[in-house]
Amino acid sequence: GQQLNQSPQSMFIQEGEDVSMNCTSSSIFNTWLWYKQEPGEGPVLLIALYKAGELTSNGRLTAQFGITRKDSFLNISASIPSDVGIYFCAGRINYGGSQGNLIFGKGTKLSVKP
Amino acid sequence: KAGVTQTPRYLIKTRGQQVTLSCSPISGHRSVSWYQQTPGQGLQFLFEYFSETQRNKGNFPGRFSGRQFSNSRSEMNVSTLELGDSALYLCASSLRLESNYGYTFGSGTRLTVV
């Protein structure tokens, strides 16, 4: 099946550092979503992207929809301990007018050292 | 506004048994999707229901089934449980079918098969 390659798999950073993670696919996507999941909870939507080149911010988080429509990145600036969690990218493949299922990357586990 | 409610939160079943999980979507949301989350495979799409009809289906065996009621509540059933079915089962709701505006996830049902 279709896959999203998300990297890195995990990150251990110091509080205050900036973080960058990305997702790539061999298929063209028409939607990119970024979610965060904390232990014992379901994923929570952080940012949604709908157009190639789109750059969207949500507080200290910034995400971009790649120009090729096959990738997206998420940046977190000045990380704090509550940023800890697993970040997932998700997207829908463009089947030329029809929508595919929402596909998720395997996640980036973020640990922040105070 | 109540979120997506999944019951039960935890479940332990024996191999060969069957199980039914329940999901109540956000009021007004008509689409309900189910995902299986495991450490190895990440979030895998099971199926999506809209207006009491299954509209999309992932690559899972026929032992996995679901249904949606007229009030949009959904149930997922797994028959003849296998050890590999141990996972966090997440339900997500959205206003529309194949929504591009993201999904709201519940906290999940943690199923352990022994």
pLDDT for the residue numbered A100: 65
Backbone phi and psi for residue A95, each to the nearest 5 degrees, phi listed first: -100, 35
Does B56 sit within 8 Å of A41, measured CB to CB? no
Does B59 sit within 8 Å of A104, measured CB to CB? no
pLDDT for the residue numbered A40: 87
pLDDT for the residue numbered B109: 97
Q: How far apart are CA A76 and CA A95, in angstroms?
A: 31
Q: Smallest Cα–Cα separation from B22: which of B10, B8, B12?
A: B8
Q: How far apart are CA B114 and CA A92, in angstroms?
A: 35
pLDDT tens across B60-103, in order? 999 999 999 999 999 999 999 999 999 999 999 998 776 667 78
Does B105 sit within 8 Å of A42, measured CB to CB? yes
How close B26 gets to chain A, by Cα (Å)?
14
Residue B2 has pLDDT above 90, yes or no: no
Residue A102 has pLDDT above 90, yes or no: no
Most confident range (mean pLDDT) of A1-5, A88-92, B15-19 is: B15-19
pLDDT for the residue numbered A99: 58
Size of interface A-B (CB pairs under 8 A): 47
